[in-house]
Structure 1
Amino acid sequence: MTIAPVAVFHSPFSSKFGIPKQSGVVETLKGEIVFLPAYRNPDALRGLEAFDYLWLIWDFNANRHHAGSLMVRPPRLGGNKKVGVFASRSPFRPNGLGLSSVKIEMIEWASNRGPVIHVLGADLMNGTPIYDIKPYVTYTDAHVNARSGFVDTNQWQRLQVVMSDEVHAFLLSRGFDEERIAALKQVLEQDPRPPYQDNPDKIYGMPFMGADIHFRVKGDVLTVLAL
């Protein structure tokens, strides 16, 4: 089967580093779904305004090798314990397909880019090809009491983010507003570092909305450094 993108995702992330490890964990993170010319017809979205969430099927296009080992190391397990690729959400998959649930913030029906879907909570990099879009339906897609394997027994620990007034003012000068700064802090709370790195002296850099965010982590405190 040959598949082709129907849309491209626009995101604050120009690289993989820092992207939330799952959709929905940073609920205020904004993104846009911009359709390719062949699909820029409002008829293709008719009825979508009655739904709150979407499923996105997309391409891990930033991964050089899709088909790797059949065993992977999930970040939730510290990056040092293996499980089967089909028992994980690892981006290194046989066919490199991603699946994310995102919230519809609004639908821009008429623009110079055609209809645009504005969404919240995505875990996609800027420029990611989207192959299909399906509405989220609660009576089949929500399973409240379902088990979640190793996720149930290995809780993700959020970091405390410290940002000085100087850094805050700099971000405002670069076009960030308070809402975007809050989203950045929520992204950093998720600990963007590779799970096997815990060097309190190492300075990390993360591109976000055109700014290069530098930070250091000591214990459970992440400090954003002068930019």
Structure 2
Amino acid sequence: MEVKKIGEVRSKYKEPVGPDEMKKSKSIIEIKAEYVDGLDQIDDYEYLQIIFYFHKSEGYDLISKRRKGPERGLFTSRSPRRPSPIGITTVELLKREGNKLHVYGLDAIDGTPVLDIKPYASFMDQPSLSLQKKTPRYHINDLIKYQNLHELLLKAGEFHGHYCPYLALGVLAAADALNKLNLKNNEKEGLRAVVETKSCFTDGIQYTAGTTFGNNKLIYQDFDKTAVTFLKSAEPDKNLRYQLQDSDYIKKKYPEAAKLFKKVITKENGSKNDKEKMKEIWQEIAFEIVEADINKYFKIEENVEIELPDGSINQSLK
């Protein structure tokens, strides 16, 4: 069996660091001269799959502890330490310059040998339609199970329309609660969320937990608090409540962001540059939040007393 190196990665990372950190940076893939013609019309694609060789990986363990969660088999992990140390990552193609591909999201260090490049095609690379029909939330459930909150926030942003701190807080709380409640697939139908605010926070809850107004699993109580309680319809007394510890946290830690928010959103007199700057800062804060310890933001309580509207738990769609 022969495997050929078609190029090499140029990155600011000279040694391995956490993949979540590396995926937030730009890299360059330099293609060897004899393979440059193979890049013809690659600009037509927004995303590429990069297959590369973990050249600094040594040895492997068939059973080992992962970064998050209990021990499990090597082939259920994304560890670079493998019998055949090959990695694959989907990246965004920013631009092509001759034999150089400028990409975003590649978790490979400087000097990594590139073995192949393929265009990402959702109709070929996503699980089959039959699986999606059977379990519509299969991808979301996996992201929650393995606490991949970075990607979960990316998907929540598609639902919400933008990235912001309170959307991230909703994602963080819901993902933590679903992990702690450890619901089986057949139990998730009984999950309910009681939110105490109408804000971006609620959209983070709706997307991540799958508890929405439309499926009668989201209950709104106007207490003007960034808080949510998760419970099972069969056992409403056994619940988890998450409340933001400091309602002024964002304002205190990110004064520039708070100032822009007031100008752009509250007073609606921000310039185009103000709007772009706020969007950029808001996004940066959001992704910072989902990577932090949840106890930094939330007071978490178990089995709190909660008053629910009559019929709100067992109400069915009509």
Q: Same fold (TM over 0.5)?
A: yes
Match of residue 76 from structure 1: 68
Are the aligned partners of 2:58 and 2:81 in contact in 1 as well (CA < 8 Å)? no
Q: Say if 2:33 is the partner of 1:37.
A: yes
Gaps of 5+ in 2: 151-167, 170-252, 255-276, 298-318
For the residues of structure 2 that align with 1:5 and 1:125, how far apart are their CA atoms? 15
Match of residue 134 from structure 1: 118
CA apart distance, 1:142: 2.6
Write the deviation string for residues 73-121 of structure 1: whole angstroms up to 9, x where unpaired.
22131xxx21111111111111001011001001113xxxxx2111011
For the residues of structure 2 that align with 1:128 and 1:34, how far apart are their CA atoms? 11
CA apart distance, 1:47: 2.0
Are the aligned partners of 1:76 and 1:151 in contact in 2 as well (CA < 8 Å)? no
Secondary structure, in 3 states, of the residue corresponding to 1:140? helix
CA apart distance, 1:191: 5.7
For the residues of structure 1 that align with 2:26 and 2:145, how far apart are their CA atoms? 30
Identity fraction in percent: 23
Secondary structure, in 3 states, of the residue corresponding to 2:78? coil
Are the aligned partners of 1:76 and 1:155 in contact in 2 as well (CA < 8 Å)? yes
Match of residue 108 from structure 2: 124
Write the deviation string for residues 11-55 of structure 1: whole angstroms up to 9, x where unpaired.
1211112442785xx3xx21101012332x3x2111211111111
Secondary structure, in 3 states, of the residue corresponding to 1:103? strand
Summarize the Cα distance change of 1:93–1:185 in structure 2 as closer, same or farther, 3 Å threshold: farther
Q: TM-score, normalised by structure 2?
A: 0.44
For the residues of structure 2 that align with 1:22 and 1:72, how far apart are their CA atoms? 23
For the residues of structure 2 that align with 1:129 and 1:186, how far apart are their CA atoms? 33
Summarize the Cα distance change of 1:61–1:120 in structure 2 as closer, same or farther, 3 Å threshold: same
Summarize the Cα distance change of 1:83–1:139 in structure 2 as closer, same or farther, 3 Å threshold: same
Summarize the Cα distance change of 1:122–1:146 in structure 2 as closer, same or farther, 3 Å threshold: farther
Aligned counterparts, 1:1-227, within 5 A? 1-20=1-20, 23=23, 26=24, 29-39=25-35, 41=36, 43-65=37-59, 68-77=60-69, 81-109=70-98, 115-143=99-127, 145=136, 147=138, 151-156=143-148, 220=296
Q: TM-score, normalised by structure 1?
A: 0.59
**Structure with the bigger percentage of strand:** 1
Are the aligned partners of 2:5 and 2:114 in contact in 1 as well (CA < 8 Å)? yes
Secondary structure, in 3 states, of the residue corresponding to 1:76? coil
For the residues of structure 1 that align with 2:4 and 2:285, how far apart are their CA atoms? 35
Larger radius of gyration: 2
Secondary structure, in 3 states, of the residue corresponding to 2:20? coil
For the residues of structure 2 that align with 1:187 and 1:61, how far apart are their CA atoms? 30
Whose relative contact order is higher, 1 or 2, with alpha carbons under 8 Å and at least 6 apart? Answer: 1
Gaps of 5+ in 1: 110-114, 164-177, 193-216, 222-227
Are the aligned partners of 1:49 and 1:107 in contact in 2 as well (CA < 8 Å)? yes
Secondary structure, in 3 states, of the residue corresponding to 1:61? coil
Secondary structure, in 3 states, of the residue corresponding to 1:72? strand
For the residues of structure 2 that align with 1:124 and 1:184, how far apart are their CA atoms? 22
CA apart distance, 1:187: 8.8
Secondary structure, in 3 states, of the residue corresponding to 1:32? strand
For the residues of structure 1 that align with 2:296 and 2:63, how far apart are their CA atoms? 29
